[in-house]
Amino acid sequence: MRRVAMLILAAAVIFAVLVLPNHPGTMKWSALNRWPLELPVLLLGMVAVGRRFGITYAVALLLVVAVVIKVADYAMFSAFNRTFNPILDTFLIGAGLSLLRDSIGGVLTVPSVVGIAAALIALFIILERSLRTWAALGPSLPLRVTAAACALLGAGWAAADAGHHLDYWRFDKSPPGTAWTTRLTVKRGIEVQQTATELARFARDAQNDVNADADGLLNALHGRDVILIWIESYGRASFDNPLYAPTHLATLKKAEAEIAQTGMAMKSGWLTSPTSGGQSWLAHGAFASGLWTSDNGRYNAMLASGHKWLFHFAQEAGYRTSAIMPAITVGWPESLVMGFDLVIPAADIPYKGDRFRWVTMPDQFTLATYPALLPPDPRPDFVQIALISSHAPWTPIPDMVPWQDVGDGTIFNDMAARGPAPKALWRDRDAVRDAYRRSVDYVLRATFSHVARLADAAPLVIVAGDHQAAGFVAGSDNMDVAVHMIGPAEVLQRIEHWGWSDGLIPAPDGPVRRMDSFRNAFLDAFTDAQISQVVAR
């Protein structure tokens, strides 16, 4: 009886690995209802082959790899609403460790990492011993031959199911059972191969730029300052999710009235971001380069290609280009190929207040301070400001203070000490959503209050969301973000043909374009001689 119990337990362990979901939406008890076609193949295969050739170690390693892929997918779906790609996303491990360290501290991060490694080793040992339990049955030769024949039959059945769902062939109905772990692993291997091919093609395509050698671009701006403000995690959810829309729309309507009183005009539209849940640089890259940087591999290929960003064209048009980056706390060598004359990271922004955990300083301080950080220069300014107060984990959240009281930032110290801690907040998803609502609202109020204060200088201001928040926060898989343009009415007249809505609230059914279309559209709109060519996406 003990041996039978061990065989059942071993089979249950392998069953659990095979039915383990890879998506938050399928992480339910109903996953246990799926019959994995690989299970009889593995168990009968062990009976037939035994422990020869180290087969139990090889299969156990493959199963651990499958578990890692599923868990990585789960994390990516939760954060970025997409699967994990080993070629493109390995670098996120470092970013994740950095965020973990900032959230729970270095003392807890080390044992957490050690615990993960130990868990993988333990999983390998458990799986290998489970397989060994079946391999050690040692039946007679006729029974081993029978087991081998049944395993081959099961393998054919699993292959039929996998091929059906991978579109290698089609049946009228899917074969009973599921070989979805096999499908997932095979599909990921295919994706890796395709990604490598796509990256090579992307690098070649990035060399082709219809505007690369054009002259006189942006001459219709007549030296007017341009300010591009990125709002973190600001997307369509602020307009159509009932958890956020009442708050954010009210703030936008109030800001719209205040800006209108200054005499500036406003237009708003939609852009589809190449990312969601994080990786803001992918959105920044697509927006300014005119290339679809939908993953880090393509982003790196774009950087290596020498392709011109919007800021390169601004330099050629006589602008001083600057990047105000309060989230940059380490070296940023990539900025050297982005077209910036001046990069101001967190260390060069004179904030004397306390950190808001991951967020280095409140956005109101950044907006109040950056003009003084730009040294005297006869050239007009083309400035990018990447705001961060609405970045996860959305705690603590600052309050607006009178602009004249911002000072050196110490006024925010009491706010920086407020709870809850990220670990406590993220135990309650409803609390996370409410914190997200309040943090985005804070940034909207700070941003558009600052824009209203710029009216006398009459710049052209672009305010854009970089991406939607994670799926469970945004409440949808939609990847659209709002983009607003504020400036003198005669300047905004040049984008009338874009079909954007007047004011700060874009029409729900307004035109939606991919974010990589913006660079060429902007160059075309603000060039008197129609030199640039709008690339339809």
For the stretch 516-532, pLDDT in tens is: 999 999 999 999 975 44
Q: Which residue has the higher pLDDT, 89 or 182?
A: 182
How many whole angstroms separate alpha carbon 532 and alpha carbon 88? Answer: 32
- Span between the terminal Cα atoms of the chain, in Å: 66
pLDDT at 535: 38
Question: What is the average pLDDT across 455-459?
Answer: 93
Residue 252 has pLDDT above 90, yes or no: yes
Query: 480-502: string of b/e by CB count within 10 Å (b at 16+)?
Result: bbbbbbbbeeebbebbeebebbe
342 - beta bridge partners? 322
**pLDDT for position 413:** 96
Structural domains in the chain?
Answer: 2-198 (no CATH), 230-525 (3.40.720.10)
* Whether the predicted pLDDT of 99 surpasses 90: no
CB proximity list for 56: less than 8 A, separation 6 or greater: 46, 128, 131, 132, 135
CA distance 437 to 249: 11
Cis peptide before 393 (omega within 30 of 0): yes
Cβ contacts of 422 within 8 Å, gap of 6 or more: 103, 104, 357, 393, 395
Average pLDDT estimate for 217-241: 96
Q: How confident is the model at residue 95 (pLDDT cuts 50, 70, 90)?
A: low
Amino acid code (one letter) for 423: K
User: Judging by DSSP bridges, how do beta strands 320-325 and 226-231 pair with one another?
Assistant: unpaired
Q: For residue 125, name the pLDDT band (cuts at 50, 70, 90).
A: very high
117 burial level (CB within 10 Å; 0-12, 13-18, 19+): exposed
Distance of CA 110 to the CA centre of its chain: 25
Cα(415)–Cα(126) distance, integer angstroms: 48
Which tokens in the block code for residue 396?
Answer: 């603590």
List Cβ neighbours of 221 (8 Å cut-off, separation of 6 or more).
317, 460, 491, 526
Q: Is the pLDDT of residue 533 over 50?
A: no
* pLDDT score, position 534: 42
The SS3 call for residue 271 is strand
Mean pLDDT of 464-479: 92
Contact in structure between 338 and 314 (CB atoms under 8 Å): no
